[in-house]
Amino acid sequence: MANTLSIDGFLSKAMDIPVIDVRSPKEFHRGHIPGAFNIPLFDNEERAIVGTTYKQVGREPALKIGYGIAGVKSDDIVKRISEIAPGREVLVYCWRGGMRSAGVASLLDKNGFNVSVLQKGYKAYRNFLMERFSKPAKIILLGGMTGSGKTEILQELGKHGEQVIDLEELARHKGSAFGALGQQPQPTTEQFQNDIFTKWLMMDLQKPIWLEDESMTIGTVNLPIPLYRQMREAHVINIEIERKIRVGRLVLEYARFDKETLKYIFYRIGERLGSQNVQRAVAAIDKEDFYTAAEISLVYYDVAYLHGIDKRKKESVTGLKLNSGNPAENSVKVLERAHEVYSSLYLSPEVKVLSGVST
């Protein structure tokens, strides 16, 4: 007989046991528990038929159709799950922990599996996620204008033992009009939030968590509202790096892409950049003068960033001038400043020594 697990118990076991999502492929694509395997009881069309029947005709006729569909698939479902879970222990969930997960769990139980079902299903997971993001965390944001190398500095902070979540990596987007270049297609907003949550569960909320200063939207995906609210109230280390260093970084990052694509993006931001600047940038790209084009792009991005940082409380923003484009060197200086200004966020500053940075 299948066990029923609360979301805490389910996620704890999911670290070692295969998780099976029995919802339709469409539901799974919209959002699922990271690492889960999709073995749908109904495909997209079948789920629509059962749901429509339930609403228009009634529960019993819908159940009859559902049992008929499931009966034909039962052998295949058992075979596929056996390949995923040779140890014959699995965790199963559907949308609300209802008939789909119960049906698959019963089938697996009869075939010798040890099965546990998520109580209240994927909906419980999403509620749990939002609740956890609402719990106060000691967030420090790394801010700075476009081309400052914030992502690389965050990576270096991770090497120093700091807790870091790279939101742009999870979003598969660098947060600008050019941010999709070289990236895989973005996940759905729901899946993006689920992927952040997997990282969030690994964080100690009593210790600093470093994130990049982001807007609510990164490309086409949105941050979880409770997390974004905390980020808006968080401390910001705002790095200031010489413009020529930033331009050079942008050239290295984007000059390798197709010229027509780059020109198209400049046209897209033309309303805010100004037609004259767009024409200058396009002409520069045609001449392969990518330095000039990158410099022009900062007309748009610097104004946008300053507008955003000005909306924050002045006491929550600490500027830090950096003279180098070296992320390793800059990470040490960022840590130094963090310990100076936010030492209360560190539980034991007197014993924390990172890469020669004494607190």
Q: List, by residue number, the catalytic residues.
A: 94
Q: For 152, phi and psi rounded to 5 degrees?
A: -65, -35
Q: Is 322 left (phi over 0), alpha (psi -120 to 50) or beta?
A: beta
- Using DSSP's 3-state secondary structure scheme, residue 358 falls into strand
User: Tokens for 92?
Assistant: 């199963």
Distance CA 270, CA 277 (A): 8
Report the first-to-last Cα separation within the chain, whole angstroms: 55
- What is the CA 51 to chain-centroid distance, rounded? 31
Residue 219 sits at the vertex; the CA angle it makes with 132 and 242, to the nearest 5 degrees, is: 100
| Residues constituting the chain | 359
CB 334 within 8 A of CB 142: yes
190, 123 contact by CB (below 8 A): no
Phi, psi of 63 (to 5 degrees): -65, -40
Cα(42)–Cα(127) distance, integer angstroms: 24
DSSP label at residue 97: S
Residue 28 to residue 37: CA distance in whole angstroms: 9
Order of strands, sheet of 37-38, starting from the edge strand that comes earlier in the sequence = 3-5, 114-118, 89-93, 19-21, 37-38
